Amino acid sequence: MVTDETSATGDAVPRGVGATALGVTRLRAIESNRARPLAIDPYAERILEAAVPAGSEWTADRGAAEPRFFRLMRDQVAVRTRFIDDTIARAVADGAAQVVVLGCGMDTRSYRLNWPEGVHVFDLDLPEVLAFRDAVLSRLAASGGHRTSVAADLREDWPRSLVAAGFDPTVRTLWVCEGLLYALPATAAEDLLTEITLLSSPASAVVVDHITDSPAFAAAREEVSPELLELWQGGPEHVGTWLSGHGWEPDVRDLRNEAARYGREIPEDLAGGQHEVARTWLAVGELASTNPGVSGRRWG
């Protein structure tokens, strides 16, 4: 676990940069070094170096014994990263002028992807998380005028903070909710999508991933960190129903099928058995051409 200490690079590493964010960063670092990576994050290893001591469970050294959790999640994270990257590319090519990454953690898309002129990216997370990530990345890459960090708590009035940072609810937007749904109770997931819908102009889209829990998966998380064990709060029972119930047209994919397209295989503890429903999904929701939410609320 990360504590409020100073890393080897001199950056204060806050408690908000926890096991979840570092675990995904570790997996992206490993994927970036594979012979045929689905996605390359050139900053992942540098973030790990700044956040944790060499040789810890979070480093990308594949020579050490790998915890079962990372073996389970390795291809899942690679496939979902590629799926979301591709969804972003299609959305901005099709006219989305804003991209909002909710609970971005150590995500580096606003730095590592090629963004067309006129597209603005908003990274939203706790202030201490953004301060650490941006301090590390500022030494490695120019942030440019196309992105804005928004310090806000998703449990509080984050829409007001987002609008105050320059977000325009009347502009077509892609919302990125990666690694987020299963960390929310069902009621909080409903509240989140309600807020997203109110902030979205017609033809906006949202991309999400979702994993339901299992005893074997919970045991694998517990081996790494109590934080990872406690992370799963359930989220929506059915992703498609969750989206359509708020006016979004859902396209829900079984992660196994998406993985097969890339020559990857999802472990049974994440994929569900031969006669079980999938436990892991990727989904894109597109908002109807008419959405009364934007005009029904003031954000000043």
Q: Could you give the C-alpha distances from 178 to 78, 107, 276, 283, 284, in angstroms and in order? A: 12, 9, 24, 11, 12
Cα–Cα nearest to 259, from 75, 86, 88, 84: 75
Q: Which one has a higher pLDDT value, 69 or 9? A: 69
**pLDDT attached to residue 17:** 65
Instruction: Work out the pLDDT band at 10, boundaries 50, 70, 90.
Output: very low
Domain residue extents for the chain = 67-291
pLDDT in tens, 82-117: 999 999 999 999 999 999 999 999 999 999 999 999
pLDDT confidence tier of residue 64, bands split at 50, 70 and 90: low
Interacting residues of 207 by C-beta distance below 8 A, sequence separation 6+: 83, 84, 87, 88, 174, 175, 176, 177, 178, 282, 283, 284, 285
Q: Return d(Cα 153, Cα 243) in angstroms, integer.
A: 22
Q: What is the pLDDT of residue 50?
A: 86
* Per-residue confidence band for 7, with pLDDT thresholds at 50, 70 and 90: very low
Look over the chain and give the mean of its residue pLDDT values, rounded to a whole number.
85
Q: What is the pLDDT of residue 4?
A: 39
User: Is the per-residue pLDDT at 37 higher than 60?
Assistant: yes
Q: Name the pLDDT band for 121 (thresholds 50, 70, 90).
A: very high
What is the SS3 assignment for 210? strand
Give the per-residue pLDDT at 58: 55
- On the question of pLDDT at 296 being above 80, the answer is no
pLDDT bracket for residue 13 (50, 70, 90): low
Average pLDDT over residues 16-43: 88
Q: Which residue has the higher pLDDT, 1 or 19?
A: 19
- Per-residue model confidence (pLDDT) at position 60: 47
Is domain 67-291 given the CATH code 3.30.390.30 in the classification?
Answer: no
pLDDT score of 62: 47
- Yes or no: say if 217 and 269 are a contact pair by the CB < 8 Å rule: yes
Distance CA 253, CA 160 (A): 32
pLDDT digits (tens, 9 = 90+) for 190-201: 999 999 999 999
pLDDT digits (tens, 9 = 90+) for 212-224: 887 777 888 888 7
Cα–Cα separations (whole angstroms), residue 299 to 159, 165, 186: 8, 12, 26
Residue 69: pLDDT band (50, 70, 90) is confident
- How is residue 123 written in tokens? 């990274």
The confidence score (pLDDT) of residue 142 equals 67
Residue 233 has a pLDDT of 83
* Sheet with 147-151, edge to edge strand ranges: 147-151, 120-125, 98-102, 173-177, 205-211, 280-287, 248-254
Query: Could you give the CA distance from residue 272 to residue 229 in angstroms, rounded to a whole number?
Result: 19
DSSP 232: -
Q: Is pLDDT of 257 > 50?
A: yes
pLDDT at 275 exceeding the cut of 90: no
- Please compute the mean of the pLDDT values over residues 140-144 and round it to a whole number: 75
